[in-house]
Structure 1
Amino acid sequence: MPFSSLSNPEFLITSLIVVASPGTGALVTLAAGLSGGARASIHAALGCTIGIVPHMLAAITGLAALLHASAVAFDAVKYVGVVYLLYMAWMSLKDSGPLAVDTDSPPRSAREVVANAALVNLLNPKLSIFFLAFLPQFIARDEPHPTPLMVELSLVFMAMTFAVFAVYGVFAAAMRDRVLTRPPVLRWMRRGFAAAFVGLGVKLALVQR
Protein backbone atom coordinates (compact mmCIF):
# COMPACT_ATOMS: atom_id res chain seq x y z
CA MET A 1 0.00 0.00 0.00
CA PRO A 2 1.47 3.42 -0.94
CA PHE A 3 2.67 5.53 1.94
CA SER A 4 0.65 8.64 2.74
CA SER A 5 1.69 11.24 5.28
CA LEU A 6 -1.98 11.98 5.92
CA SER A 7 -2.43 8.45 7.28
CA ASN A 8 0.60 8.71 9.55
CA PRO A 9 -0.59 10.24 12.85
CA GLU A 10 2.91 10.22 14.35
CA PHE A 11 4.23 12.43 11.56
CA LEU A 12 1.23 14.77 11.72
CA ILE A 13 1.35 15.18 15.50
CA THR A 14 5.11 15.69 15.59
CA SER A 15 4.95 18.20 12.75
CA LEU A 16 2.14 20.11 14.46
CA ILE A 17 4.17 20.35 17.66
CA VAL A 18 7.21 21.62 15.75
CA VAL A 19 5.19 24.14 13.74
CA ALA A 20 3.11 25.43 16.67
CA SER A 21 6.13 25.90 18.94
CA PRO A 22 7.06 29.60 19.27
CA GLY A 23 9.82 30.57 16.89
CA THR A 24 11.00 33.24 14.50
CA GLY A 25 8.36 32.60 11.83
CA ALA A 26 5.50 32.68 14.32
CA LEU A 27 6.88 35.90 15.81
CA VAL A 28 7.10 37.58 12.41
CA THR A 29 3.54 36.53 11.57
CA LEU A 30 2.23 37.85 14.89
CA ALA A 31 4.02 41.13 14.29
CA ALA A 32 2.50 41.39 10.81
CA GLY A 33 -0.99 40.78 12.17
CA LEU A 34 -0.60 43.40 14.89
CA SER A 35 0.89 46.00 12.58
CA GLY A 36 -0.96 45.42 9.32
CA GLY A 37 -4.07 43.43 10.08
CA ALA A 38 -5.36 40.04 8.94
CA ARG A 39 -4.31 40.40 5.30
CA ALA A 40 -0.73 41.24 6.26
CA SER A 41 -0.63 38.25 8.61
CA ILE A 42 -1.70 35.94 5.77
CA HIS A 43 1.05 37.40 3.59
CA ALA A 44 3.57 36.81 6.39
CA ALA A 45 2.39 33.23 6.84
CA LEU A 46 2.79 32.73 3.09
CA GLY A 47 6.29 34.20 3.21
CA CYS A 48 7.34 31.91 6.07
CA THR A 49 6.02 28.95 4.10
CA ILE A 50 7.90 30.01 0.98
CA GLY A 51 11.04 30.32 3.10
CA ILE A 52 10.84 26.59 3.77
CA VAL A 53 11.20 25.68 0.07
CA PRO A 54 15.00 26.20 -0.15
CA HIS A 55 15.50 24.03 2.93
CA MET A 56 13.28 21.34 1.43
CA LEU A 57 15.23 21.41 -1.82
CA ALA A 58 18.51 21.34 0.07
CA ALA A 59 17.42 18.27 2.00
CA ILE A 60 16.26 16.49 -1.15
CA THR A 61 19.40 17.28 -3.13
CA GLY A 62 21.81 16.59 -0.29
CA LEU A 63 22.94 20.18 0.24
CA ALA A 64 21.66 20.04 3.80
CA ALA A 65 24.04 17.17 4.49
CA LEU A 66 26.90 19.33 3.22
CA LEU A 67 25.77 22.19 5.46
CA HIS A 68 25.63 19.79 8.39
CA ALA A 69 29.09 18.41 7.63
CA SER A 70 30.81 21.74 7.02
CA ALA A 71 31.37 23.77 10.18
CA VAL A 72 32.34 26.85 8.16
CA ALA A 73 29.22 26.75 5.97
CA PHE A 74 26.95 26.09 8.93
CA ASP A 75 28.45 28.89 11.03
CA ALA A 76 28.32 31.33 8.11
CA VAL A 77 24.59 30.81 7.60
CA LYS A 78 23.98 30.72 11.34
CA TYR A 79 25.62 34.06 12.04
CA VAL A 80 23.93 35.74 9.11
CA GLY A 81 20.70 34.61 10.72
CA VAL A 82 21.79 35.94 14.10
CA VAL A 83 22.64 39.34 12.62
CA TYR A 84 19.28 39.50 10.87
CA LEU A 85 17.40 38.63 14.06
CA LEU A 86 19.25 41.39 15.94
CA TYR A 87 18.37 43.74 13.09
CA MET A 88 14.71 42.73 13.49
CA ALA A 89 14.97 43.43 17.21
CA TRP A 90 16.33 46.93 16.54
CA MET A 91 13.67 47.64 13.93
CA SER A 92 10.92 46.45 16.28
CA LEU A 93 11.78 49.31 18.65
CA LYS A 94 11.50 51.98 15.95
CA ASP A 95 8.29 53.85 15.24
CA SER A 96 8.72 53.10 11.54
CA GLY A 97 9.68 49.45 12.06
CA PRO A 98 7.69 46.28 11.35
CA LEU A 99 5.42 46.95 14.34
CA ALA A 100 4.38 50.38 13.12
CA VAL A 101 0.61 50.74 13.47
CA ASP A 102 0.26 54.40 12.54
CA THR A 103 -2.94 54.68 10.51
CA ASP A 104 -1.61 57.81 8.79
CA SER A 105 1.31 55.90 7.24
CA PRO A 106 0.91 53.69 4.17
CA PRO A 107 0.95 49.97 5.05
CA ARG A 108 3.79 47.78 3.89
CA SER A 109 3.19 46.17 0.53
CA ALA A 110 2.28 42.51 0.28
CA ARG A 111 5.54 41.85 -1.55
CA GLU A 112 7.56 43.45 1.25
CA VAL A 113 5.78 41.45 3.95
CA VAL A 114 6.18 38.17 2.06
CA ALA A 115 9.84 38.83 1.25
CA ASN A 116 10.71 39.72 4.85
CA ALA A 117 8.99 36.62 6.24
CA ALA A 118 10.60 34.36 3.63
CA LEU A 119 14.04 35.76 4.44
CA VAL A 120 13.55 35.03 8.13
CA ASN A 121 13.05 31.32 7.46
CA LEU A 122 15.64 31.23 4.70
CA LEU A 123 18.33 32.38 7.16
CA ASN A 124 17.59 29.67 9.68
CA PRO A 125 20.16 26.87 9.20
CA LYS A 126 18.47 24.69 11.79
CA LEU A 127 15.52 24.33 9.42
CA SER A 128 17.73 22.51 6.93
CA ILE A 129 19.09 20.30 9.69
CA PHE A 130 15.51 19.64 10.77
CA PHE A 131 14.59 18.48 7.28
CA LEU A 132 17.74 16.39 7.09
CA ALA A 133 17.22 14.64 10.44
CA PHE A 134 13.45 14.63 10.88
CA LEU A 135 11.77 13.75 7.60
CA PRO A 136 13.92 10.72 6.70
CA GLN A 137 12.69 9.00 9.86
CA PHE A 138 9.35 8.52 8.15
CA ILE A 139 10.79 6.96 4.99
CA ALA A 140 11.70 3.28 5.01
CA ARG A 141 15.29 2.46 4.14
CA ASP A 142 14.14 0.01 1.48
CA GLU A 143 11.73 2.53 -0.09
CA PRO A 144 12.38 2.38 -3.86
CA HIS A 145 11.20 5.97 -4.49
CA PRO A 146 12.21 8.10 -1.49
CA THR A 147 12.23 11.47 -3.27
CA PRO A 148 8.46 11.65 -3.98
CA LEU A 149 7.79 10.71 -0.36
CA MET A 150 10.19 13.39 0.87
CA VAL A 151 8.35 15.94 -1.29
CA GLU A 152 4.99 14.77 0.06
CA LEU A 153 6.12 15.04 3.67
CA SER A 154 7.61 18.46 3.00
CA LEU A 155 4.44 19.76 1.36
CA VAL A 156 2.32 18.57 4.28
CA PHE A 157 4.72 20.26 6.70
CA MET A 158 4.52 23.47 4.66
CA ALA A 159 0.72 23.36 4.58
CA MET A 160 0.62 22.96 8.34
CA THR A 161 3.06 25.85 8.73
CA PHE A 162 0.87 28.15 6.65
CA ALA A 163 -2.33 27.13 8.46
CA VAL A 164 -0.93 27.47 11.99
CA PHE A 165 0.87 30.75 11.29
CA ALA A 166 -2.23 32.17 9.61
CA VAL A 167 -4.27 31.39 12.74
CA TYR A 168 -1.63 33.09 14.88
CA GLY A 169 -1.61 36.13 12.63
CA VAL A 170 -5.37 36.50 12.34
CA PHE A 171 -5.69 36.27 16.11
CA ALA A 172 -3.07 38.98 16.49
CA ALA A 173 -4.91 41.10 13.92
CA ALA A 174 -8.09 40.79 15.99
CA MET A 175 -6.22 42.44 18.87
CA ARG A 176 -4.92 45.26 16.66
CA ASP A 177 -7.60 47.82 17.51
CA ARG A 178 -6.95 47.40 21.21
CA VAL A 179 -3.27 48.07 20.60
CA LEU A 180 -3.98 51.15 18.47
CA THR A 181 -5.99 52.76 21.27
CA ARG A 182 -3.37 52.04 23.94
CA PRO A 183 0.05 53.62 23.17
CA PRO A 184 1.63 52.24 26.38
CA VAL A 185 0.61 48.72 25.31
CA LEU A 186 2.22 49.33 21.92
CA ARG A 187 5.46 50.47 23.53
CA TRP A 188 5.67 47.39 25.74
CA MET A 189 4.69 45.19 22.81
CA ARG A 190 7.59 46.57 20.79
CA ARG A 191 9.98 45.94 23.67
CA GLY A 192 8.61 42.43 24.08
CA PHE A 193 9.06 41.59 20.41
CA ALA A 194 12.55 43.10 20.41
CA ALA A 195 13.49 41.01 23.45
CA ALA A 196 12.06 37.91 21.78
CA PHE A 197 14.09 38.51 18.61
CA VAL A 198 17.24 39.00 20.70
CA GLY A 199 16.47 35.81 22.60
CA LEU A 200 16.02 33.86 19.36
CA GLY A 201 19.27 35.34 18.05
CA VAL A 202 21.18 34.25 21.16
CA LYS A 203 19.58 30.80 20.96
CA LEU A 204 20.58 30.48 17.32
CA ALA A 205 24.13 31.64 18.07
CA LEU A 206 24.49 28.83 20.61
CA VAL A 207 23.24 26.16 18.22
CA GLN A 208 25.75 23.48 17.32
CA ARG A 209 25.69 21.17 14.32
Structure 2
Amino acid sequence: MIDATVLITYSLVVLGFVFIPGPATLLTVARATTSGTKVGIATGAGITVGDIIHTIMAVVGISAIIATSATLFSIVKYLGAAYLVYLGIKGIIEKAPVDLGLGRVPITAPQAFRQAILAEVLNPKTALFFLAFLPQFVVPENGYVIAQLTILGVLFALIGFFSTIVYSVAAGGLGNFLRRNPTVLKWQGKVVGGIYCALGARLALQER
Protein backbone atom coordinates (compact mmCIF):
# COMPACT_ATOMS: atom_id res chain seq x y z
CA MET A 1 0.00 0.00 0.00
CA ILE A 2 0.99 3.66 0.23
CA ASP A 3 3.95 4.61 2.42
CA ALA A 4 3.16 7.03 5.23
CA THR A 5 5.84 9.45 3.96
CA VAL A 6 4.38 9.46 0.47
CA LEU A 7 0.88 9.92 1.84
CA ILE A 8 1.90 12.88 4.02
CA THR A 9 3.82 14.51 1.16
CA TYR A 10 0.90 13.99 -1.21
CA SER A 11 -1.60 15.43 1.30
CA LEU A 12 0.52 18.56 1.82
CA VAL A 13 0.90 19.09 -1.94
CA VAL A 14 -2.84 18.67 -2.50
CA LEU A 15 -3.68 20.91 0.45
CA GLY A 16 -1.61 23.70 -1.06
CA PHE A 17 -3.08 23.06 -4.49
CA VAL A 18 -6.78 23.11 -3.56
CA PHE A 19 -6.54 26.39 -1.65
CA ILE A 20 -5.24 28.19 -4.75
CA PRO A 21 -8.37 29.83 -6.24
CA GLY A 22 -9.40 28.00 -9.41
CA PRO A 23 -12.61 27.22 -11.33
CA ALA A 24 -13.97 24.95 -8.58
CA THR A 25 -13.32 27.63 -5.97
CA LEU A 26 -14.97 30.32 -8.10
CA LEU A 27 -18.09 28.21 -8.62
CA THR A 28 -18.31 27.45 -4.90
CA VAL A 29 -17.79 31.05 -3.82
CA ALA A 30 -20.30 32.31 -6.38
CA ARG A 31 -22.98 29.93 -5.15
CA ALA A 32 -22.27 30.54 -1.46
CA THR A 33 -22.31 34.31 -1.89
CA THR A 34 -25.64 34.41 -3.70
CA SER A 35 -27.49 31.48 -2.14
CA GLY A 36 -25.85 30.88 1.23
CA THR A 37 -23.34 28.61 2.90
CA LYS A 38 -25.48 25.48 2.52
CA VAL A 39 -25.67 25.88 -1.25
CA GLY A 40 -21.94 26.59 -1.40
CA ILE A 41 -21.18 23.39 0.50
CA ALA A 42 -23.58 21.48 -1.77
CA THR A 43 -21.64 22.83 -4.75
CA GLY A 44 -18.40 21.68 -3.16
CA ALA A 45 -19.93 18.25 -2.50
CA GLY A 46 -20.93 18.02 -6.16
CA ILE A 47 -17.41 18.88 -7.25
CA THR A 48 -16.12 16.21 -4.85
CA VAL A 49 -18.37 13.58 -6.41
CA GLY A 50 -17.18 14.70 -9.83
CA ASP A 51 -13.56 14.29 -8.73
CA ILE A 52 -14.27 10.79 -7.43
CA ILE A 53 -15.80 9.95 -10.81
CA HIS A 54 -12.63 11.26 -12.47
CA THR A 55 -10.63 9.02 -10.13
CA ILE A 56 -12.61 6.01 -11.28
CA MET A 57 -12.14 7.08 -14.90
CA ALA A 58 -8.39 7.38 -14.40
CA VAL A 59 -8.21 3.98 -12.72
CA VAL A 60 -10.15 2.16 -15.44
CA GLY A 61 -8.41 4.01 -18.25
CA ILE A 62 -11.19 6.18 -19.66
CA SER A 63 -9.12 9.29 -19.00
CA ALA A 64 -6.30 7.75 -21.03
CA ILE A 65 -8.69 7.35 -23.95
CA ILE A 66 -9.66 11.02 -23.67
CA ALA A 67 -6.00 11.97 -23.49
CA THR A 68 -5.11 10.09 -26.70
CA SER A 69 -8.22 11.00 -28.70
CA ALA A 70 -8.28 14.62 -29.88
CA THR A 71 -11.85 14.23 -31.11
CA LEU A 72 -13.17 12.78 -27.86
CA PHE A 73 -11.29 15.40 -25.84
CA SER A 74 -12.87 18.19 -27.93
CA ILE A 75 -16.37 16.71 -27.60
CA VAL A 76 -16.14 16.51 -23.80
CA LYS A 77 -14.55 19.95 -23.62
CA TYR A 78 -17.22 21.67 -25.67
CA LEU A 79 -20.02 19.85 -23.86
CA GLY A 80 -18.62 21.11 -20.56
CA ALA A 81 -18.15 24.64 -21.91
CA ALA A 82 -21.68 24.69 -23.35
CA TYR A 83 -23.13 23.55 -20.03
CA LEU A 84 -21.30 26.27 -18.10
CA VAL A 85 -22.40 28.93 -20.59
CA TYR A 86 -25.96 27.63 -20.36
CA LEU A 87 -25.88 28.00 -16.57
CA GLY A 88 -24.39 31.46 -16.98
CA ILE A 89 -27.02 32.70 -19.43
CA LYS A 90 -29.75 31.21 -17.26
CA GLY A 91 -28.40 33.08 -14.24
CA ILE A 92 -28.20 36.34 -16.20
CA ILE A 93 -31.72 36.31 -17.61
CA GLU A 94 -33.56 34.90 -14.60
CA LYS A 95 -35.03 37.41 -12.19
CA ALA A 96 -33.55 37.05 -8.71
CA PRO A 97 -35.94 37.00 -5.72
CA VAL A 98 -36.25 40.39 -4.08
CA ASP A 99 -37.08 39.02 -0.64
CA LEU A 100 -34.88 36.30 0.78
CA GLY A 101 -36.60 36.65 4.12
CA LEU A 102 -39.10 34.02 2.98
CA GLY A 103 -36.30 31.54 2.53
CA ARG A 104 -36.14 31.83 -1.23
CA VAL A 105 -32.73 31.60 -2.86
CA PRO A 106 -31.63 31.71 -6.52
CA ILE A 107 -30.82 27.98 -6.42
CA THR A 108 -31.43 25.16 -3.98
CA ALA A 109 -28.74 22.93 -2.52
CA PRO A 110 -29.85 19.81 -4.49
CA GLN A 111 -29.83 21.80 -7.74
CA ALA A 112 -26.37 23.20 -7.00
CA PHE A 113 -25.12 19.69 -6.13
CA ARG A 114 -26.34 18.19 -9.41
CA GLN A 115 -25.02 21.07 -11.51
CA ALA A 116 -21.59 20.91 -9.87
CA ILE A 117 -21.28 17.17 -10.55
CA LEU A 118 -22.07 17.62 -14.22
CA ALA A 119 -19.83 20.67 -14.61
CA GLU A 120 -16.88 18.84 -13.01
CA VAL A 121 -17.37 15.58 -14.92
CA LEU A 122 -17.58 17.45 -18.23
CA ASN A 123 -14.20 19.09 -17.68
CA PRO A 124 -11.62 17.06 -19.63
CA LYS A 125 -8.78 19.10 -18.11
CA THR A 126 -9.69 17.62 -14.74
CA ALA A 127 -9.63 14.14 -16.27
CA LEU A 128 -6.16 14.75 -17.68
CA PHE A 129 -5.00 16.25 -14.40
CA PHE A 130 -5.98 13.13 -12.49
CA LEU A 131 -4.38 10.96 -15.14
CA ALA A 132 -1.08 12.88 -14.94
CA PHE A 133 -0.99 13.81 -11.24
CA LEU A 134 -2.00 10.66 -9.36
CA PRO A 135 0.57 8.24 -10.86
CA GLN A 136 3.42 10.48 -9.65
CA PHE A 137 2.71 9.31 -6.10
CA VAL A 138 2.22 5.64 -6.90
CA VAL A 139 5.01 3.24 -5.88
CA PRO A 140 4.64 0.07 -8.00
CA GLU A 141 6.93 -1.86 -5.65
CA ASN A 142 4.28 -1.51 -2.94
CA GLY A 143 1.81 -3.46 -5.08
CA TYR A 144 -1.92 -2.88 -5.59
CA VAL A 145 -1.45 0.04 -7.99
CA ILE A 146 -5.20 0.32 -8.58
CA ALA A 147 -5.80 0.58 -4.83
CA GLN A 148 -3.09 3.25 -4.52
CA LEU A 149 -4.62 5.31 -7.35
CA THR A 150 -8.07 5.01 -5.80
CA ILE A 151 -6.89 6.09 -2.36
CA LEU A 152 -4.98 9.04 -3.77
CA GLY A 153 -7.92 10.17 -5.88
CA VAL A 154 -10.45 9.92 -3.07
CA LEU A 155 -8.06 11.72 -0.71
CA PHE A 156 -7.67 14.51 -3.27
CA ALA A 157 -11.46 14.83 -3.52
CA LEU A 158 -11.91 14.92 0.27
CA ILE A 159 -9.19 17.54 0.79
CA GLY A 160 -10.76 19.55 -2.01
CA PHE A 161 -14.14 19.28 -0.28
CA PHE A 162 -12.57 20.61 2.91
CA SER A 163 -11.30 23.66 1.03
CA THR A 164 -14.73 24.33 -0.49
CA ILE A 165 -16.31 24.18 2.98
CA VAL A 166 -13.86 26.83 4.19
CA TYR A 167 -14.59 29.04 1.18
CA SER A 168 -18.35 28.43 1.50
CA VAL A 169 -18.47 29.49 5.14
CA ALA A 170 -16.50 32.66 4.40
CA ALA A 171 -18.43 33.52 1.24
CA GLY A 172 -21.77 32.61 2.80
CA GLY A 173 -21.22 35.04 5.65
CA LEU A 174 -20.28 37.77 3.21
CA GLY A 175 -23.29 36.93 1.06
CA ASN A 176 -25.68 37.29 4.01
CA PHE A 177 -24.40 40.83 4.45
CA LEU A 178 -24.48 41.71 0.76
CA ARG A 179 -27.97 40.36 0.17
CA ARG A 180 -29.41 42.96 2.54
CA ASN A 181 -28.63 45.48 -0.21
CA PRO A 182 -31.38 45.58 -2.91
CA THR A 183 -28.81 46.55 -5.54
CA VAL A 184 -26.80 43.43 -4.80
CA LEU A 185 -29.94 41.30 -5.06
CA LYS A 186 -30.65 42.82 -8.46
CA TRP A 187 -27.19 42.14 -9.87
CA GLN A 188 -26.11 38.96 -8.11
CA GLY A 189 -27.56 36.65 -10.75
CA LYS A 190 -25.86 38.58 -13.53
CA VAL A 191 -22.50 38.47 -11.72
CA VAL A 192 -22.72 34.72 -11.08
CA GLY A 193 -23.94 34.17 -14.63
CA GLY A 194 -20.99 36.15 -15.92
CA ILE A 195 -18.60 33.97 -13.89
CA TYR A 196 -20.12 30.81 -15.35
CA CYS A 197 -19.96 32.20 -18.90
CA ALA A 198 -16.32 33.21 -18.38
CA LEU A 199 -15.44 29.75 -17.06
CA GLY A 200 -17.22 28.17 -20.01
CA ALA A 201 -15.30 30.35 -22.47
CA ARG A 202 -12.05 29.58 -20.67
CA LEU A 203 -12.70 25.85 -20.92
CA ALA A 204 -13.63 26.09 -24.62
CA LEU A 205 -10.41 27.94 -25.44
CA GLN A 206 -8.12 25.60 -23.50
CA GLU A 207 -5.87 23.28 -25.43
CA ARG A 208 -4.96 19.75 -24.38
TM-score, normalising length from structure 1? 0.86
1:3 aligns with 2:11: no
Q: Which moved more, 1:166-175 or 1:88-97?
A: 88-97
Q: Is the alpha carbon distance of 1:31 and 1:142 closer, same or farther for their aligned partners in structure 2, counting shifts above 3 Å?
A: same
CA-to-partner distance for each residue in 1:75-103, whole Å, 9 max, x for gaps?
00000111112112212323446xx6741
Q: Is the alpha carbon distance of 1:26 and 1:5 closer, same or farther for their aligned partners in structure 2, counting shifts above 3 Å?
A: farther
Would you say the 8 A contact 1:38–1:173 is kept in 2? yes
> Counterpart of 2:150?
151
Regions of 4+ moved over 3 Å: 4-7, 94-97, 104-110, 185-195
Would you say the 8 A contact 1:30–1:172 is kept in 2? yes
> Counterpart of 2:47?
48
> Counterpart of 1:184?
183
How far apart are 1:71 and its partner, in Å?
0.8
Q: Using the alignment, how far apart are the partners of 1:81 and 1:110 within structure 2?
A: 21
1:93 aligns with 2:68: no
Q: Is the alpha carbon distance of 1:186 and 1:161 closer, same or farther for their aligned partners in structure 2, counting shifts above 3 Å?
A: same
CA-to-partner distance for each residue in 1:110-147, whole Å, 9 max, x for gaps?
32221111111111111110110001001124442111
How far apart are 1:37 and its partner, in Å?
1.7
1:68 aligns with 2:67: yes
Would you say the 8 A contact 1:24–1:197 is kept in 2? no
Which structure carries more helix by proportion? 2
Q: Using the alignment, how far apart are the partners of 1:168 and 1:20 within structure 2?
A: 9
Letter in 2 for 1:45: G
Letter in 1 for 2:137: F
Q: Is the alpha carbon distance of 1:204 and 1:62 closer, same or farther for their aligned partners in structure 2, counting shifts above 3 Å?
A: same
Instruction: State the aligned residue count.
Output: 206
1:126 aligns with 2:125: yes
Q: Using the alignment, how far apart are the partners of 2:4 and 2:63 within structure 1?
A: 24
Letter in 2 for 1:41: G
Q: Using the alignment, how far apart are the partners of 2:25 and 2:178 within structure 1?
A: 19
Q: Using the alignment, how far apart are the partners of 1:94 and 1:165 within structure 2?
A: 27
Would you say the 8 A contact 2:51–2:120 is kept in 1? yes
Q: What runs of 5+ residues in structure 1 fail to find an aligned partner?
A: none
Letter in 1 for 2:111: E
> Counterpart of 2:201?
202
Q: Is the alpha carbon distance of 1:106 and 1:194 closer, same or farther for their aligned partners in structure 2, counting shifts above 3 Å?
A: closer
Q: Which moved more, 1:167-176 or 1:138-147?
A: 138-147
How far apart are 1:192 and its partner, in Å?
3.9
Q: Is the alpha carbon distance of 1:59 and 1:21 closer, same or farther for their aligned partners in structure 2, counting shifts above 3 Å?
A: same
Q: Which moved more, 1:185-194 or 1:145-154?
A: 185-194
> Counterpart of 1:170?
169
- Over aligned residues, Cα RMSD in angstroms? 2.4
